[in-house]
Every structure is written in structure tokens, then in C-alpha cells.
Amino acid sequence: MFRKRSEGGYTPAIPGIELKTTVYGDRTLMTEFQLKQGSVLPRHAHPHEQTGYLVKGKMRLSIGPDEHDVMPGDSWCIPANVEHGATIFEDSVAVEVFSPVRDDYLPQKQGGGR
């Protein structure tokens, strides 16, 4: 699968956080998140491993009991079923890969879940 860059296609996940799935295959799915300053991603867990990279902005990411101040260029990997969340300090863009594929993030189903 190949997808050209596009401006639109974002859907709300929760207030202040929008997502767009860029590409996906049989085992992985890549999503771009736009996160607004002051928004909070509540702590949650899911059965997907989640690997991410902060493109721009600043946020605090909690993974299990640990907290990390995240700056552009920082990356992370959240194991499946580990509770995590984030507080967004500046408008931010993050790219994350999920495995296995998140069915709720497939383009025809976007807008639900975290």
C-alpha cells in the first residue's frame, strides 16, 4: 500500500485529538495524530503494541508507572495491555504504528477508540 500526503482526512478521537490512518497492512497500521495544546489523553490500555515518534510539539507521556517529557525527535514503544496516557503542552503531531492492526482505526471505521 502506498499513500500520498494529504491535508485532510482527520477524524476526532477525543476532544483536542484527531487522527488519520496513513497506511496499513496485514500486521501493522500507521496513524498520524494532531494533538491540541491543553488536551489530555486519559490513561487507557489496549491489546496493541504501540510505537511512536513525536514530529513536533511537547507533551508528557505516561507508560505504566513512568512519565516522560517528550520533545520532537523522541520515540517510544508501549507494550500491549500497558496503561498509558498523555498531557499535551504544545500543539503537537505524533506518528504511531500499531500491531496488530487496530480495526477501529481503519479508514472506514475511524473516529472511535484510543
CA 29/CA 36 separation, integer angstroms: 22
Domain ranges within the chain, ordered by starting residue? 29-102
pLDDT, averaged per 10 consecutive residues of the chain (114 residues), comes to 87 96 97 98 98 98 98 98 98 98 84 44
CA 36/CA 61 separation, integer angstroms: 15
Q: Which CATH architecture has domain 29-102?
A: Sandwich (2.60)
- Model-level pTM? 0.90
